Amino acid sequence: MTAPVFVVESLEHIPGGELVVDGPEGRHAVSVKRLRAGEDVVLTDGRGLWSEGVVKAAEGKDRLVVTDLESVWEEPQEQPRITVVQALPKGDRGELAVETMTETGVDAIVPWEASRCITQWRGDRKLKALGKWRATAREAGKQSRRVRFPEVADAASTKEVAALLAGADLAVVLHEDREHESAALASVDLPASGEIVLVVGPEGGVSPEELAVFGEAGALTCRLGRSVLRTSTAGTAAVALLLGRTGRWG
């Protein structure tokens, strides 16, 4: 069995090679995972730093003492970096998209309030929804044993997405256009490093006005294949394709 991953605030200073994991993470380790002395664990700050240790003691219901944390490593940011701009799906499909893209290996996710989105984030709902997306990325990162979790940015407007595309080394909008044949994402030339930004539209599609704005920013329109995927699954499929083509899955 592979060692489970737990998140701590910092790994920069570990006096005596020992650290206490408490709060929600400690409760999950002790009361849910039921870890006991002698079992291996991995601790990470979710920002690339990680260390391997051994459980020294499980105390109460939410306190795990980890020892033998002698070395701390840093996982470098892989290249090229992949950011997905995800239009807001209906219901809990947003969390599904975040979960599967995180498990697949996306580096950053930007929620996008597209004009054809049925779901709109406003006021307290915006803060709550964004919190759910970020919590989902954290939990999916742990589940998939990542030590560098994807950043989930604040919700972006179309203008802000266009600025993001303009600064990318490769900017792509997933779009199925029956009148004008889109290029296949599988055949587009990819940069060896830098930033790839991929836009996934809502169920109703990217509007002509949004496509024009993104085109002016330098984005290509591409298709994945013959079938049309849901907005909650298209990003994951595209990320998997890109990771395979760039060699990051090699």
Q: What is the mean pLDDT of residues 150-155?
A: 96
Do both 85 and 140 map to the same domain?
yes
* Pair 214, 199: CB distance under 8 Å: yes
**% the chain with pLDDT above 70:** 98
Helix 123-143 crosses helix 93-104 at what angle (to 10 degrees)?
A: 30
Please say which residue of 31, 54, 74 terminates a domain. Answer: 74
The parent domain of residue 180 ranges over 81-246
Q: What pLDDT digit, counting tens, does each position of 94-134 carry? A: 999 999 999 999 999 999 999 999 888 888 888 999 999 99
| 11-29: average pLDDT | 90
Whether residue 63 is found in the same domain as residue 11: yes
Q: Do 102 and 176 belong to one domain?
A: yes
Q: Examine the fold and report which residue of 26, 41, 74 is the final residue of a domain before the chain moves on.
A: 74
Structural domain tally of the chain?
2
Same domain, 102 and 222: yes
User: For the domain that residue 59 is a member of, what is the CATH number?
Assistant: 2.40.240.20
Q: Please tell me whether residues 46 and 153 are part of one structural domain.
A: no
pLDDT (mean) for 196-225: 94
Phi and psi, residue 44, nearest 5°: -145, 155
Q: What is the pLDDT of residue 55?
A: 95
For the segment 149-175, the average pLDDT, to the nearest whole number, is: 97
Does 133 share its domain with 216? Answer: yes
What pLDDT, on a 0 to 100 scale, did the predictor assign at position 225? Answer: 82
Give pLDDT, residue 1.
59
**What kind and span of H or E run contains 69?**
none
Based on the fold, state whether residues 161 and 53 are members of the same structural domain: no
Domain match, 96 and 175 both: yes
Q: Give the CATH number for residue 162.
A: 3.40.1280.10
Please, what is the average pLDDT of the chain?
93
**Residue 176 pLDDT > 80, yes or no?**
no
Q: Looking up tokens 């290249």, which residue turns up?
A: 79
Choose one of 74, 94, 119: the last residue of a domain. 74
**Cα dihedral: 176, 178, 180, 182 (round 10):** 30
- Same-domain check for residues 57 and 97: no
46, 154: one domain? no
Same structural domain, 202 and 163:
yes
What is the model's pTM? 0.93
pLDDT tens across 69-95, in order? 989 999 999 999 999 999 999 889 999
pLDDT, position 20: 93
